[in-house]
Amino acid sequence: MGLREYLFFLGRDTCLCSMGQRIHFVVDPQGWCCMGLIILAWLYNTVFIPKVILFPHYEEGNISVVAVLCYYFCSLFCIGSLLRASVADPGKLPENPKIPITEREYWELCNKCNMMRPKRSHHCSRCGHCVRRMDHHCPWINNCVGEDNHWLFLQLCFYTQILSSYTLILDFCHYYYFLPLKKENWDVFVFRHELAVLRISAFMGLIILGGISRLFYTQLMGIFTQC
């Protein structure tokens, strides 16, 4: 039996236990594609921004090593939070939940999976099960955002805003603030196409920053209104 057949045999998702934590995988090709685009955007900026801006300006004494290390730390935190949010169990309800007697009146029957669930839980059609306090299914992390991984999703939004803002600041400073480079590596492809490389980086940074900032704001407003 191949991997694909095995995953579908288990269902649309599978959960493993690792170091006492539940790891959640969703079998959704559309979600894999969306998450792949995010990883490609992250990889693009992580490779080209240091190569075109940080390292050349550091070698010529225009910036300190702190700026370089901060960018890599932001990039590491961003991809780390993305992977954690995508594989964390959002709060999937077990097939035979143990319902305390004192809480039975707060549980209801799901008309899609015919399972008992607590109120404020929702059924995700992509994952094929109910999730406690489900906020939404996010294709960009290929996972639901629920009770157990909501804080990881907010963490991802926060680090993504920082990395996108840092990238845009570096793109701006490269042309309008830093001293001109000596262009010793002008024969290298990325330097011969420097303008196009940085325009793509700035475009992705603006799109991601705008979308994530709006999402982060709505998430925070939702949390504050529930308190």
Q: Exactly one of 138, 144, 173, 227 is catalytic; name it.
A: 138
CB half-sphere exposure, 170, CA atoms < 13 A: 29
From residue 96, give the alpha-carbon distance in Å to each of 114, 117, 198: 11, 10, 53
User: Which residue, among 61, 66, 71, has the nearest Cα to 179 in the 3D structure?
Assistant: 61
User: Which residue, among 20, 214, 34, has the nearest Cα to 137 in the 3D structure?
Assistant: 34
CB 168 within 8 A of CB 205: yes
User: Which residue, among 207, 218, 215, has the nearest Cα to 37 in the 3D structure?
Assistant: 207
User: Does 227 qualify as catalytic in the annotation?
Assistant: no
What is the distance between the alpha carbons of residues 25 and 83, in angstroms, rounded to a whole number? Answer: 11
Angle at the Cα of 153 from the Cα atoms of 200 and 119, rounded to 5 degrees: 140
Residues that are catalytic: 138
